[in-house]
Amino acid sequence: MSRRWQLPHFLSPAVNGKRKADPVIEESPSKKAKLINEGFCLFVGNLNSSKNSEELKESLEKYLMSQSLLFQDIRLDRFRKHAFVGLLSEMDLNKALTLNGEVLLDKPMKIAKAKIKSAEKVKVKSPELKKDARCLFVKNLPYNATKEDILKIFHKAIAIRFPGGTEGPTKGIAFLEFKNTGIAKKVQKQKQGVTIQKRVLILNRVGEKSVCRVTKADVENKRKKDKKALQSSQNIEAGKKEDTEESCEKPEKTKVLSKTLIVMGLAEKTSPETLKSVFEGAVNARVTVNKKDVSKRFGFVNFGSDESCKAAKEAMEDCEIDGCKVTIAYAYPKGKKTGKEGGKLTGGRARTGGKT
C-alpha cells in the first residue's frame, strides 16, 4: 500500500492562481480582557499561595473595597502567587500604587502597574465600555443613604449599583446608569456638588481622566461651615445649661434660715418640758393642743441661733420621743417659706393656738 503525503499549506499548489488564505486565529477571552483593561491593569504579587484560590480572591476583593478602589475583575495565576486586577479609572490605579508593601494574609504585597503585551492592530469592541460611558461614578455618599434617597436627586437614572453587590453605599460610592451618554453628561454638569444629608457629592463619568469639578477648596469651605454651625449650636446648648444651673442655684442663695423646728408625730402625753429636754440647746418648746386641751401631736422647739437649730435637727433625725417615732423639719414664719418643708409647716404653725 502506498502512503499519501500532504504538503504544507505554504507549499500546496495555488487554486486559480491564488494561494489559500491563512487560518484565522481568534484571541482567547483572557487576551481580550487584557486588551480592555490594558490602561488600568494592576499587578499584585507575593500573594500567600498556601491559601486556596477562592480565599485569596475574596480577601483581595475585600481589601480593595476597604480602600474604595473600583475594579472590574481579578485574575489569579495558576500557582496563586500573583494576580491581575482590572481597575476602572486612572485615579483608582494611582491610589492602588501607593499601597505597595501593605500586608494581606500575613504577606506584604508587591503592587505595580501591570506590563501587558498588547496585540498589534487588533481592535476589540467591548460592550462594557459602552455601558461605562452611560454611567456616573458617585463619591462621598452617606453610608445610610438608600436607593430611594439617591433616585430623588438623580431621577433620570435607570439603574443604581453598589460595589460588592451590597444594598447600600457601605463605602460611600455608587454607580448610576443612564439611558445614553448625553443624559449622563448633562446630569453630571447639573448635579455636580449637590448634597445628601449635608454631604457634598462628587460626580465623575466612569473611566474619565479629568479631575472632578468640585475642588478641594469647595469641600473645605463646606466643612468649615458645618463646623461653625455645630459650634454655634453647642454654644446655644451650653448657654441654656448655664441658665438652668443659675435658676437652680437661686433658691439656695435666697434660702431663709430658721431658728425653729417643728416636731410631728408626738405622743399625746408628751409635754413641752419633755420636748425641750430632748433637744440640746433649745431655748423653749411648746406642744399644740385643741380647744379641749388635747394634744394635736405636734409641737415647736426654738433655738438661740440658726446653727444650733441645724445641729439639733441633724442630731435628732429618726429619733423617738415617749415611744413614738417623730418627724423633724424646719419651721418658717409666714411669707418666708422656701422648699417643700416650709410650705406645709407655715400653715401648721399659723393654726396653732394651743397652750404651751
- 235-256 per-residue burial string, b: 16 or more CB within 10 A, e: under 16: eeeeeeeeeeeeeeeeeeeeee
For residue 126, the 8-state DSSP code is -
Q: How far is CA 307 from CA 251, 285, 304, 314, in A?
A: 19, 17, 9, 11
Whether 84 and 41 have beta carbons less than 8 Å apart is answered as: yes
pLDDT score recorded for residue 72: 85
What is the secondary structure of 85-122 as a DSSP string?
A: EEESSHHHHHHHHTTTT-EETTEE-EEEE---PPPTT-
Q: pLDDT digit string (tens) for 114-154?
A: 876 554 444 444 334 344 678 888 888 888 888 888 988 89
User: Taking the complete model, does pTM exceed 0.85, yes or no?
Assistant: no
Quote the longest CA-to-CA distance of the chain. Answer: 156
Whether 287 and 236 have beta carbons less than 8 Å apart is answered as: no
174 CB burial (10 A radius; 0-12, 13-18, 19+):
buried
Of 26-35, 72-81, 218-227, 340-349, which has the strongest mean pLDDT?
72-81
Q: pLDDT digit string (tens) for 180-210?
A: 888 988 898 888 888 888 888 888 887 654 4
* pLDDT at residue 165 is higher than 80: no
Close Cβ partners of 116 (under 8 Å, ≥ 6 residues apart): 34, 38, 41, 84
For residue 340, how many C-alpha atoms fall within 13 Å in the half-sphere facing its CB?
0
pLDDT score recorded for residue 335: 57
Backbone conformation region of residue 164, classed left if phi is above 0, alpha if psi is from -120 to 50, else beta: left
pLDDT score recorded for residue 33: 43
Task: List the end-to-end C-alpha distance of the chain, in Å, as a whole number.
Answer: 154
Average pLDDT taken over every residue of the chain: 75
Between 88 and 251, the higher pLDDT residue: 88
Backbone conformation region of residue 223, classed left if phi is above 0, alpha if psi is from -120 to 50, else beta: alpha
pLDDT score recorded for residue 44: 93
pLDDT score recorded for residue 125: 43
How many other CB atoms are there within 10 angstroms of residue 178's CB atom? 21
pLDDT band at 167 (very low <50, low <70, confident <90, very high): confident
What does the alpha-carbon distance between residue 88 and residue 270 come to, in Å, rounded to a whole number?
A: 96
Nearest alpha carbon to residue 339 among 350, 329, 348, 326: 329
* Least confident range of 12-26, 36-50, 195-209, 277-291: 12-26
pLDDT score recorded for residue 206: 75
What does the alpha-carbon distance between residue 88 and residue 39 come to, in Å, rounded to a whole number?
A: 9
Nearest alpha carbon to residue 71 among 37, 114, 47, 35: 37
* pLDDT at residue 234 is higher than 80: no
